[in-house]
Amino acid sequence: MFLICLFSFFLSLLNTKFVIFLSEKLEIYDKPDKRKIHSKLTSRLGGFGFFVPFLITLFLYSLLVKGFEITDFLICVFPIFFLGLYDDLFGINPIIKLAAQIFASFIAFNLGFRIDYIYFPFVGYLFFGGLSLFLTIFWLVGLSNALNLVDGMDGLASGVAILILLSMAIVSYVLDRNFVFIISIILLFSMTGFFVFNINPARIFMGDSGSLTVGFIIGLISISGFMKGLTLVTLFSIIIMLIIPVADTFWAIIRRSVSGRSIFSPDKGHFHHMLLEKGWSVRKINSLFRGITVMGSLVFFFVFLPQEYFLFTASFLIFGYLFLFLLESIVIGVRKSA
């Protein structure tokens, strides 16, 4: 498994470097404007940079380990990735984009990625029945767009996503939920290879092919591993772990609705924009948001893990936070000395 993860990381490093080169040759850029933070032409094909190595590594693992089935998972994910890639290359109407996400979520529901019931203390089980489809679509579409909304600053969405994936990998490993663990850990290392080039000032952005896909995958594996049957406590803990993208999404909906604008209209009212206006540096904002994600993940650990595992596994998560900070420092240092 360790070798598989290293393979995923280095393949992502090489592929992301190639995608940056290809973007420069084909002039596929995210151009600066008054709404955006960056001031230079930057590749927006980051999703292609890390998703392809993720797929190759996942396929390789499925060949090496008999019984590890990924067909249904790929059928669910491919439509979202190609939707995001098309949007990165050509742009797409927000309504059509939303409809395509709903369709992909409908496919996932029919392939078994669904939220079936919730358990209320002192009351018992409430099976959702026909509402299961609505709740599943709401969860998957919501998470896809939540991570997409957070992707407005160098290293922000990628860093938060890496820590969420690490949390899911840790808990699924302890609970022996192999499918969630493998997906989480391979995607985690693929994204870390991409993260090297996404550090401020970023040479490449996640783009919709990256943020939509990762958000959708997090939604899928959370359902597969932790949400088929919910309790109020487990639902609360998962939302707390995802607090940054979830809170930013609800704030965007409220803010745009109150001002009479479409909830799909872009703006500079996100939490990271507000902190930038107050004089915070990009690195300081990243550190804060990653720290909040770690704190939320500790709640997730407390709910799902046996007590004897909590301190040991929490140390892995804190190490992940420190590793991102150290990797950031190394990359910035190398760039300055070059």
Binding-site residue numbers are 148, 208
Could you write out the DSSP letters of every residue in 248-270? HHHHHHHHHHHTT--TTS--S-S
Are 81 and 209 in contact by the 8 Å Cβ rule? The answer is yes
Alpha-carbon gap, residue 195 to 159, rounded angstroms = 7
Name residues whose C-beta falls within 8 Å of residue 233's C-beta, 6 or more positions apart in sequence.
303
Alpha-carbon gap, residue 193 to 143, rounded angstroms = 23
Alpha-carbon gap, residue 237 to 100, rounded angstroms = 29
Please name which of 260, 148, 168, 266 lies closest in space to residue 214, comparing C-alpha atoms: 148
Sequence ranges of the binding site for Mg(2+): 148, 208
Please name which of 126, 122, 142, 145 lies closest in space to residue 134, comparing C-alpha atoms: 142
Please name which of 68, 53, 81, 51 lies closest in space to residue 216, comparing C-alpha atoms: 81
Q: What is the dihedral of CA 57, 228, 133, 218, to 10 degrees?
A: -30
Structure tokens at 261: 């604008």
